[in-house]
Amino acid sequence: MKLKCRLSLLALSLLGTSFLISACTIANYTPAIPDNQPPTILTEKSGAISFSYLPELWHDGKDNPNNQGSLPKAVLKVREIFEKNTQFERVIISATPPVKGMHVNIYLEHHVSFSPYEIASIATLGILPHYADGLAYTVHFDVLADNTPVKHYEEEIRGKGVSWIGFLPFWWITHILNTSEDEAFLGTVYNFTRAARRDGWLTPKTCSSPGRLSPDQGARAMKSTD
């Protein structure tokens, strides 16, 4: 019983410390979707494209794109970006690529590193200030045509921020004025759709074109971009 109480107190202590450090940090992440987006001129839309966003697509773990109540907000935002910036008439959320058609797998690679200064700042509950500037995430986009990998894109989420106990009254700046991690992720999706469309991948003609990459060529294309 005493051990459970101690573990509970330890968990609460760690949670409180994490919340305090987060509240004392003013941070900003890039990229962000531009406020004044350049006009997207698309020809007549047709066909369908599907995508999956890992690690969490659905709270219940089921491929249920019709139940929007079970979909995280970020997934719905990704679909909205695809709808606005691709030439496909329908955007489907699916954990598995279709046998025929275009599909994009999206997943995050988290870059975690702690400098001695950051550890000291955490240990002193933010009394010692700490500045950080660097790579936070790499967002991967695997493009598949007819269930064959044809292209791989990478977008970086970079962040910079300062942690100090004196910033506690200004915790709202990061959440209201600056670009958050979630908003930066959507910025990478926006950049991907523009780059992939420019390269000719996000178009219904990609799968039907006689010049589409063969499976071997597709595999080499994926490998060459790693």
Domain total in the chain:
1
Question: Which CB contacts under 8 angstroms, 24+ apart, belong to 123-128?
Answer: 125/17, 125/20, 125/21, 125/165, 126/20, 126/21, 126/24, 126/163, 126/164, 126/165, 126/168, 127/165
143-193 pLDDT, tens digit per residue, is 999 999 999 999 999 999 888 888 878 776 766 778 888 899 999 999 999
Which amino acid is it at 18? S
123-147 pLDDT, tens digit per residue, is 887 788 888 899 999 999 999 999 9
> Is 147 domain-assigned?
yes
* Rounded CA separation 180/183 (Å): 5
> Is 136 domain-assigned?
yes
pLDDT at residue 218 above 50? no
Residue 118 φ then ψ, to 5°: -70, -40
**pTM of structure:** 0.74
> Is 93 domain-assigned?
yes
CATH of the domain at 188: 3.40.50
> Is 21 domain-assigned?
no
pLDDT at residue 200 above 80? yes
Render the burial of 140-151: b for 16+ CB within 10 Å, e for the rest.
Answer: bbbbbbbebbbb
Assigned token pair, 91: 């955007």
> Is 30 domain-assigned?
no
Place of tokens 């329908």: 90
Cβ-based neighbour number of residue 25 at 10 Å: 20
> Is 197 domain-assigned?
yes
